[in-house]
Structure 1
Amino acid sequence: MVRVRDLVGMPELGLRPVVGTELLDRPVTRLYGTELPDPARYLSGGELVLSGLLWHRADGDCERFVSSLAGAGVAALAASPPEADDLPAALVEACERHGVPLLAVPVDLSFATITERVVLELAAERVGDAGAQLGRHRRLLTVVAEGGGLSELVEAGAAELGTPCWVLSCAGHVVAGPDLPGAAALVREFLVAERLPRVVRGVTLLPVTARGGGRLTAWILVVSGDRADDEAAVELASLVGVERARVVQGRRIENRAAGPLLRQVLAGGDAAARIADVGWDPDAPLRVVAASASDGPVELVAALLEEALAAVTAGFLLTTVEDEVYALAPSGPWVERVRSALRTAEPGLGTTRVLVGISSPAGHGGLRGAAEEASHARRLAERRLREGGLGERRLGEGGLGARRLGERRLGEERRGERQRAERGRGERRAGRTCVVAGEEIALHHLLLAGVPEDLRGSLRRRLLGPVLDYDAAHGSDLVGTLRVFLDCSGSWTAAAARLHVHVNTLRYRVGRVEDLLGADLSNFAERVDLYLALQAG
């Protein structure tokens, strides 16, 4: 990099600093000669400005000229008066006031000589930069060609850039690089950015997109500092993309066994042999995972689930069957981590709701049951989203949207599936994401799932009819009071606190319910009947 100090140090030029000796480390990007009184429109910053001061008529002209140079961010002003006089005092004062280095040009030195010498220096610098770029490119390509892997590539890129680097997935997983606190927050910044690269929180976020994928399925190259315009950072992001394609291809090869295995699991066949073929212990507990989306392509769901699982478990199989994504993985303490990983993708999902279900651990003999359990969990999560009033702009991670894959896909079964989905009820959960694992499905949900819809409605009406009619006629919510009272296991204090009413008010409302129904809510059996009636609607 050519600096003003380098030019001052060239004896053949004889440039003498007059003002701004502490500013001589400014880089020089080009030369510009001018005799205009205000040349600002022709300056872009970093110029060594040459002037014979032909514009100078009065002291006020110096202020106008120098302020235009300072506003443009020039590197320095090299000036030579038309006569053998000293530089105007007003010019010296203006340069000092505006922080513009002023160099005095010897009267016997032509501007052509200065131009030739500086141009040669700038040309040599550009050749050196090109050589450095070529060397960097070769070194990084060597890492890729020799199969060093993503971690080695990122490490080599960090060395070339002289600053730490990381690769993140949009599930918040650090794919390569050291630990990165706040990775999930950086992913959210990436997903909502209007344009990329983006500099935020002291780092630069560069996209590493997959072929045919959008931002949600991208990886993110994180480079410390402001590197939005750094060609080396952009080149590293491109090479990370090459490594990502290699990783994706490797996963596809590993998952070739997933389709037949999962189809056999869902069909209820003996999958032990196939499980052994993929290198897993056929007697070890496994979990079935499945996902679907309210709208949007199934490829997006597959990519999100794959990244989330890759972040939390080393071995899993994943495949797409029609409009749903299925996965099989060894059981482990990763359910909550999958929920956390998927939540980071929320800002970029828009109106799409992704429902994910995770079964309880099951041996290979019970995998079909695990798939059905996860399917019920997904429907339960969907119901929770609706009842929680979360709206259409919500991401729900809930259960396995498993449709039967055999010959029994009849219209009647479809109606039954919808009815059973309506029966699933769960209390509202905080946050925008709702994951339901198989262990969370309450027994009364399973009991009610086997009752026809018309019978459930009749049961609800028979037990709650007088209260329903009273609420309709008076605009009250005694049914809601009853629900909260039973949810609180008959605790007057807890129920009153949840309803934000005095305990005496609650006692009056519950007494009104008992009068209307002819019931005794201190009787456990009657409480159970009424609770099931509430859940049946």
Structure 2
Amino acid sequence: MRIRDLVGMPDLRLRPVVGGDLLDRPVTRLYGTELPEPARYLSGGELVLSGLLWHRTAGDCERFVSSLAGCGVAALAASPPEAEELPAALVEACERHGVPLLEVPVDLSFATITERVVLELAAERVGDAGAQLGRHRRLLTVVAEGGGLSELVEAGAAELGAPCWVLACTGHVVAGPDLPGAADLVREFLVADRLPRAVRGVTLLPVTARGGERLTAWILVVSGDRADDEAAVELASLVGVERARVVQGRRIENRAAGPLLRQVLAGGDVAARIAAVGWDPGAPLRVVAASASDGRVDRVEALLEESLAAVAPGFLLTSVEDEVYALAPAGPWVEEVRSALRVAEPGLGATRVLVGISSPVGHNGLRGAAEEASHARRLGERRLEEQRLGERRQGEWRRGERQPEERRLADRGPGERRLGERLGDRRSGDRDGGLTCVVAGEEIALHQLLLAGVPEDLRGSLRRRLLGPVLDYDAAHGSNLIGTLRVFLDCSGSWTAAAARLHVHVNTLRYRVGRAEELLGADLSNFTERVDLYLALQAG
């Protein structure tokens, strides 16, 4: 109900004195008062009734009206105690503060006004409840008839009169049109102190999370500020119902995943099971192996499920002990999985997620692909450890807490300092930042794959046995022959290329390599010895 509706009731005969252009203000409730400052009892939207018993001076009018204006009342309906005009000071105060003023006829009781307003507000609430019930029934019909998530989101958008989307915490749009900046909205959702939250011109509402975690939730995105909109909250709950249906459907489709993947890991014949899944017998497949640093297999499984569902339809997913394995047709989805896990990182806390993905293989090579994926996952773990070590060392360097070998490097010339920095980058590898690491099989050189399967103590022993004399010489003389040797072998023994990367003269390079050969008792023109030394360098 609005002020205009009250003015239009002929039996009330309310006359607008001030605020004729403000008659569209809504009235939410009625409040009668004779207090000089009633602000403590007002919450906004009231039609205030007063007989002006508080009025003594013009200052009283200013105090009373400013109190009403500060609370955001809808209007003041006033009647003088006797057959007199409304005080001029009251009219002026209402004009000054923008409070609509209605004059009540002296022969009209406030009880009559109260009765009419209460009846009108009650009728409106019944109408609102009916509208809510109708909306609820329409949305429930979509769910009951199996219309699916997309149809439900479309129906919800029509009811709300605003575009709607559903996002996974991997940044993928599960339902709705394209949504630019979806990854940024996910990050806002993951770090929000409370939900729903209005941000960037939309409202983010949580949809049922698996295990109660925000990281594994879906997000209902509604255009505009709908944080207090009951219809938006209702739509989010119904999307949660549809999500449960989607998850259940995936689990039914994945019933063959456990036996199939266990047979893959055991090296058995999987041809019959592949056919049972319904895949093309000739199509190449990929195996995914993943784990979490805190052992939370359920979180990794949920994240992989959401990321693969969007980019690798038909995937199979199951957990085996402390690892999650997935099997999917080969396709250009590796980068998509990498990007999805990066988006989800703000919700991971200190948890590290490691994912290894095999190269595309036929069905006969699935056992090897599973081992390759596990090796790639372990290689990703090493990369993250190296990255953290490098970041810690950089912090120590900035604070002046340099390690002995770093102090020696700082004492050398600028060319060799640049070399040391590049060597540090080389040792760290080209890896992902943050708390997740995805390594695909084709990104791993054969020697890396072989070394990843060798125990760490054995790798250290190999490195020491082959490179020990040079390592000792560098430690005693503050030199970097091991770095020179690494660059020389990286450049396939090219004197010109290696000298250019080291920023030294070719003769200087020849002297250093010769000194290394003398210490090692090796001949770097011999291909076999080059391979041995290269592997020893990579093992460190």
After TM superposition, is the score higher than 0.5? yes
Structure 2 distance, partners of 1:234, 1:452, is 53
Q: Paired residue for 1:387?
A: 386
Q: Paired residue for 2:350?
A: 351
Q: Deviation per CA, 1:442-494, whole angstroms, max 9, x where unpaired?
A: 12224545767666445433553344234434666664565467557774687
SS at match of 2:76: strand
User: Aligned AA for 2:446?
Assistant: L
CA distance 1:91–1:531, change in 2 (3 Å): farther
Structure 2 distance, partners of 1:392, 1:217, is 29
Residue 212 of structure 1 and its aligned partner are, at CA, apart by 3.2
Query: Is 1:285–1:330's contact at 8 Å kept on the other side of the alignment?
Result: yes
CA distance 1:303–1:446, change in 2 (3 Å): closer
Query: Is 1:353–1:392's contact at 8 Å kept on the other side of the alignment?
Result: no
Structure 1 distance, partners of 2:356, 2:181, is 27
SS at match of 2:317: strand
Residue 210 of structure 1 and its aligned partner are, at CA, apart by 3.8
SS at match of 1:57: coil
User: Aligned AA for 1:444?
Assistant: H
Give the alignment's TM-score, normalised by structure 2.
Answer: 0.85
Query: Is 1:384–1:425's contact at 8 Å kept on the other side of the alignment?
Result: no
- 5+ unaligned residues in a row in structure 2: which ranges? 393-425
CA distance 1:474–1:10, change in 2 (3 Å): farther
User: Aligned AA for 2:370?
Assistant: A
CA distance 1:52–1:478, change in 2 (3 Å): farther
CA distance 1:484–1:129, change in 2 (3 Å): farther
Q: Where do residues 108-147 of structure 1 align in structure 2 (5 Å cutoff)?
A: 108-147=107-146
SS at match of 1:212: helix
Q: Where do residues 232-243 of structure 1 align in structure 2 (5 Å cutoff)?
A: 232-243=231-242
Query: Is 1:356–1:378's contact at 8 Å kept on the other side of the alignment?
Result: yes
Q: Paired residue for 1:434?
A: 437
Structure 1 distance, partners of 2:445, 2:225, is 52
Query: Is 2:376–2:440's contact at 8 Å kept on the other side of the alignment?
Result: yes
SS at match of 2:166: strand
Q: Where do residues 288-307 of structure 1 align in structure 2 (5 Å cutoff)?
A: 288-307=287-306
CA distance 1:69–1:512, change in 2 (3 Å): farther
SS at match of 1:388: helix
Q: Deviation per CA, 1:368-417, whole angstroms, max 9, x where unpaired?
A: 01001111100111110011117999xxxxxxxxxxxxxxxxxxxxxxxx
SS at match of 2:437: coil
User: Aligned AA for 2:144?
Assistant: A
CA distance 1:150–1:359, change in 2 (3 Å): same
Between 9-18 and 238-247, the greater mean CA deviation after superposition:
9-18
Q: Where do residues 132-531 of structure 1 align in structure 2 (5 Å cutoff)?
A: 132-210=131-209, 212-389=211-388, 427-432=429-434, 433-448=436-451, 456-473=459-476, 479-480=482-483, 483=486, 487=490, 491=497, 495=501, 503=503, 515=515, 518=518, 525=527, 530-531=533-534
Residue 285 of structure 1 and its aligned partner are, at CA, apart by 0.5
Structure 2 distance, partners of 1:431, 1:305, is 18
CA distance 1:522–1:461, change in 2 (3 Å): closer
Q: Paired residue for 2:8?
A: 9
Structure 1 distance, partners of 2:99, 2:354, is 62
Structure 1 distance, partners of 2:45, 2:12, is 20
Q: Deviation per CA, 1:289-317, whole angstroms, max 9, x where unpaired?
A: 12111105211111111001001121111
SS at match of 2:332: coil
SS at match of 1:320: strand
Residue 47 of structure 1 and its aligned partner are, at CA, apart by 0.6
Query: Is 2:78–2:102's contact at 8 Å kept on the other side of the alignment?
Result: yes
Query: Is 1:140–1:156's contact at 8 Å kept on the other side of the alignment?
Result: yes
CA distance 1:448–1:205, change in 2 (3 Å): closer
Give the alignment's TM-score, normalised by structure 1.
Answer: 0.86
Aligned residues between the structures: 500
Residue 87 of structure 1 and its aligned partner are, at CA, apart by 2.1
Query: Is 1:143–1:152's contact at 8 Å kept on the other side of the alignment?
Result: yes
Structure 2 distance, partners of 1:341, 1:483, is 35
SS at match of 2:212: coil
Structure 2 distance, partners of 1:373, 1:165, is 42
- 5+ unaligned residues in a row in structure 1: which ranges? 394-423, 497-502
Query: Is 1:380–1:426's contact at 8 Å kept on the other side of the alignment?
Result: no
User: Aligned AA for 1:72?
Assistant: C
Residue 324 of structure 1 and its aligned partner are, at CA, apart by 1.5
Runs of 4+ deviating beyond 6 Å: 390-393, 505-510, 519-522
Structure 2 distance, partners of 1:186, 1:151, is 20
CA distance 1:430–1:330, change in 2 (3 Å): closer
Residue 54 of structure 1 and its aligned partner are, at CA, apart by 1.5
User: Aligned AA for 1:333?
Assistant: P
Structure 2 distance, partners of 1:95, 1:317, is 70
Between 10-19 and 426-435, the greater mean CA deviation after superposition:
426-435
SS at match of 1:345: helix
Query: Is 1:463–1:517's contact at 8 Å kept on the other side of the alignment?
Result: no
Structure 1 distance, partners of 2:500, 2:82, is 95
Query: Is 2:295–2:322's contact at 8 Å kept on the other side of the alignment?
Result: no
Structure 1 distance, partners of 2:481, 2:79, is 94
